Amino acid sequence: MSKLPEWLEDLFCRADIRINGRRPWDLQCHDEAAYDRIAGDVSLGLGESYMDGMWDCEALDQFFDRALSAHHDKKVPPSPALLIGIAKARLLNRQNKHRSIEVAKVHYDIGNAFYEAMLDPYMQYTCAYWNGAAQGLASAQEAKLDLICRKLALAPGEKILELGCGWGGFARYAVEHYGVEVIAYNISAAQVEWARAKCKGLPVEFRLQDYREATGAFDKVAAIGLCEHVGYKNYRSFLELAHRCLKPGGIFLLHTIGRNHSVHHLDAWMDRYIFPGGMLPSAAQLGEAMDDLFVLEDWHSFGTDYDRTLMAWHANFEKSWPRFSAEYGERFYRMWRYYLLSCAGGFRSRQIQIWQLVLSKDGIRGGWKGIR
């Protein structure tokens, strides 16, 4: 009979998580073989054994909030798979053009109807802005889009470059509300097809190309949720591209998830099942990449808003799941639930953040006026 190793049992105890306890955040074990899988590789073992139905938890978001608040990620011994992953990340550029296509196939091209059911009308798949005025997810996402437009100081007739555009929500909002023109780059065929249909007749051009192929001169540049796919070996070249594409006096807005400390890899489970090759930057890594390149005008952190955004996505996902269960299957359901709620716990515990950086090419005369 498998038994939970003493070191792992101690970690659960420190986080006040009980095996087969009665509280929403307690782990309910259905198969004790899960213990060996978790002990062998906490990240993959915990996630895969959950996907396989070996354990359950009523409130996974609370489970992960408690585990991460107890800093379990710093107390778990590295597994062979983790060490291999770190070595690969250091030796290889896992976010080069060829490898970057994988995340589009694995994650973004799984079905527009599925994402329509989970997201808002602008199909925003990044953190919403719950600024007190938001009445729900759709309102909070529009508040985020307007916040970005105001920070960029968009003006009618300006030409905007968007690097990594998702389903085109920012481009559509900026064109409709601020009278600008947008050229946007994206490697997801499904997203570009959806975006082109929604923006038909608007001054928006969606290019099915890697962001590294962007050319031209623009008044403003935006990258909303792209930096998580750029990789630490490419941060400098990414920022150099944005700088090169900006006209004199231009502004670059960078919206990204961030980590509290520098790493060179992503969580092994997330890397395998959700965002292949993904990596979250630290403030130090971004600071080094922008050194002597941009003037940092503003660094806005509002990561707790992502907790609320993820819980809203999860509620929509659960509500709409009966429409998709036959197509995607039970293992996908458990995978997606684990993904959304573990991320919510991560933001709630403040182990990961959301940042919006306003970077100017030459420094804004008179200073940047703080916008929130």
CB 218 within 8 A of CB 160: yes
CA distances from 65 to 139, 260, 271, 347 (A): 26, 16, 20, 8
Q: How many CA atoms lie within 13 A of 306 on its CB side?
A: 28
Measure the CA–CA gap between 264 and 259, rounded to whole angstroms: 11
Closest CA to 157 of 117, 199, 203: 203
What percent of the chain is helix, strand and coil (3-state, nearest 5)?
50, 15, 35
245 is known as an active-site residue: no
Which DSSP symbol is given to 53?
T
CA distances from 86 to 32, 60, 257, 284, 288 (A): 29, 27, 20, 19, 21
Helix and strand totals (H; E) in the chain? 15, 9
Q: Which of 149, 165, 227, 343 is catalytic?
A: 343
Closest CA to 258 of 295, 294, 298, 302: 302
Closest CA to 350 of 73, 8, 17: 73
Residue 246: its H or E element: strand 246-259
Two structure tokens written together for 323: 């429409």
Measure the CA–CA gap between 295 and 298, rounded to whole angstroms: 9
Q: Please give the positions annotated as active site.
A: 343
